[in-house]
Copies of this chain bind each other. A is one copy, B any other.
């Protein structure tokens, strides 16, 4: 008999597919040599961690009390760390935050789970924009919430405010925004954000209850061509920010990030207390302590994203030359082209024959596309083009 829970059965089944692909990639690498397999399947940053990180760790271990550095603190994190991060956000985005507006978390994934735990009642609806990072649906389901999909404009991958409006009901508690976006690389501009804010504001009034925006921003520092993602709490009052240092400092394994809860959001005092308690009862207890202190020291630091920009520029031009159709991304490190031939599952299977590992759009609830994570070496990008050409030709023939 099976011993695992019913919800896990479904999750394990889904994840077995991804795992099978992962294993297949490793098998191919053994068979053909790693240099002959073009693995664009994972969002694992290829840029090395920022060199300031090592210096920060060394300084902390030499200068601070180890009992403090590795010890428990308030579940929301070290107060001085939160204060420093608040100051950094204030300097960048013209806010007036203090330690009370920041909760340190185990990455952005922790930030989203803590925030959802704090606000979601069973049956509450959370809107996401397709294509979307599929873990959002699992996070919402952790709290017995219901994920509702709203579409994006396929020429820009920006949310469609009219569709959003039609999806909001009296059970809508939150809308997850993700810009720069995984998997499309879209960056929401001020104009679209103001339209979204307008819709949410009107619906808050109509239903007489708050609708929170949850802005998931692990890619905030990764935008190209001078694009700067707008700071959403400046545009919409009831907005949480979930930030992570995973990509900005290339530290995804360390699980360090934070939540911003602005003071002028509804029920602010109650919410910050709930976030603090949620961090504890979800078993995170607190964000990893040494890396809280590293984050404080490296708060204004970010890796050099020119390596990603070079890959993007090369791949976008090479792939569109071949005939791939793709909205040009403005941030993050993903391309989300249309699957040649139209069937993403079929195309990704075909691509694998040419040693290309890609993720079908179906995994992001958007069939007909595929995701290409270009956080790989430039060499891999260059060497992959012949395979992309062959896969394209075969798919459309």
Contact = CB atoms under 8 A, between A and B. Distances in A.
Given A267-B3, A283-B139, A70 B110 contact: no
> Which of A6, A45, A117 has its CB near the most chain B CB atoms (within 10 A)?
A117
A70 B210 contact: no
Interface string A301-325: 0000000000000000000000000
A23 to B, nearest CB: 11
Given A5-B143, A139-B281, A270 B12 contact: yes
Contacts of A5: 117-121, 124, 143, 274
Given A3-B270, A112-B283, A142-B282, A61 B71 contact: no
A66 B53 contact: yes
B273 A12 contact: yes
A48 B61 contact: no
A278 B69 CA distance: 29
Interface stretch (A84-92, A178-186, A286-294, A328-336): A286-294
A99 interface: no
Interface string A8-42: 10011001100000000000000000000000001
A51 to B, nearest CB: 9
A271 B3 contact: yes
A2 interface: yes
A292 B291 CA distance: 14
Interface residues of A, number: 80
Contact of A210 (B3, B8, B117, B252): B3
A288 B119 contact: no
A373 to B, nearest CB: 12
Q: State the oligomeric state as a number of copies.
A: 2
B110 A283 contact: yes
A144 B144 contact: yes
Contacts of A1: 209-210, 266-267
A164 interface: no
A232 interface: no
Contact of A253 (B6, B120, B143, B289): B289
A71 B270 contact: no
B284 A284 contact: yes
A57 interface: yes
Contacts of A158: none
A54 interface: yes
A251 interface: yes
A58 interface: yes
B281 A118 contact: no
Given A113-B282, A135-B281, 20 more contacts: A3-B119, A3-B267, A4-B118, A4-B119, A5-B118, A8-B118, A8-B278, A11-B277, A48-B67, A53-B70, A57-B57, A57-B61, A72-B252, A106-B106, A113-B283, A142-B142, A142-B281, A255-B284, A255-B289, A290-B291
Nearest 4 Cβ contacts at the A-B interface? A253-B289, A113-B283, A109-B283, A3-B267
Interface of A: 1-8, 11-12, 15-16, 42, 44-46, 48-49, 53-54, 57-58, 61, 66-67, 69-73, 106-107, 109-110, 112-114, 117-121, 124, 135, 138-139, 142-144, 209-210, 212, 250-255, 266-267, 270-271, 273-274, 276-278, 280-292
19 contacts: A1-B266, A3-B210, A3-B266, A12-B270, A12-B277, A15-B273, A15-B276, A48-B66, A58-B58, A70-B251, A70-B253, A106-B255, A106-B285, A107-B283, A107-B285, A113-B283, A142-B281, A282-B283, A290-B290
